[in-house]
Chain A
Amino acid sequence: AQRVTQPEKLLSVFKGAPVELKCNYSYSGSPELFWYVQYSRQRLQLLLRHISRESIKGFTADLNKGETSFHLKKPFAQEEDSAMYYCALKKDNQGGKLIFGQGTELSVKP
């Protein structure tokens, strides 16, 4: 069965510290992985996707098929990064159907 696992419900770091939000997945096909973010009192929105190989707001994520992971990283956390982060998997040709992890709340303290 397809599954996305985010092992940490809460991650708390100090401003300027590196941050890594973990995501592991299980899927036998060719997955596409995403990170969605929800800031306080805002709606859920796309942060980045592995296909784009882009850095958004200083965040990067690399798909590691060997370890079936897609961890989200940022070298220096900022207070405005505090939010709920969801890792999601899209199966082949099923654009609207995403399988989400349980989410990790990132708290960046001053």
Chain B
Amino acid sequence: ETGVTQSPTHLIKTRGQQVTLRCSSQSGHNTVSWYQQALGQGPQFIFQYYREEENGRGNFPPRFSGLQFPNYSSELNVNALELDDSALYLCASSPEAANTGELFFGEGSRLTVL
């Protein structure tokens, strides 16, 4: 069973740039959630994708957007990067209709914005 994989693991961008982060869900999982974890904080929900549609969004501006593909992999896009976007971005997958709250996390992509 393949776990959640994320890429890249680390990246550095400058203010105003755009970034795309990628996530492959765990085998058999068709729901993907994205979280932002700032240093010293708990993960904060960005949005969730289910069957290629956004299915819930946290308190993040529209410059945070996402996609889910037919193979259930997902992308997180952030436009017009700001210094405060520096964080660990976590992807988590879960199986359909589980609604159990059990999420399977990737190792994250650490974004630094200079």
Contact = CB atoms under 8 A, between A and B. Distances in A.
B48 A97 contact: yes
B44 A100 contact: yes
Nearest to A1: B59
- Interface centre among A34, A45, A97, A99, by most chain B C-beta atoms within 10 angstroms, is A97
Interface residues of B, number: 31
A6 to B, nearest CB: 8
Given A86-B43, A102-B41, A102-B42, A46 B103 contact: yes
Of the four ranges (under 10, 10 to 19, 20 to 34, 35 or more), the interface on chain A belongs to 20 to 34
Given A43-B106, A43-B107, A95 B101 contact: yes
A34 B101 contact: yes
A96 B90 contact: no
A99 to B, nearest CB: 7
Nearest to B58: A97
B101 A49 contact: yes
Contacts of A6: 42
B84 interface: no
A97 to B, nearest CB: 5
A96 B41 contact: no
B74 to A, nearest CB: 12
A94 B32 CA distance: 13
Interface of A: 4, 6, 9, 32, 34, 43-46, 49, 86, 88, 90, 93-103
Given A44-B43, A45-B105, A98-B43, 18 more contacts: A4-B42, A34-B101, A43-B107, A45-B104, A49-B100, A88-B42, A88-B101, A95-B94, A95-B98, A95-B100, A96-B32, A96-B48, A97-B33, A97-B48, A98-B45, A98-B103, A100-B44, A103-B41
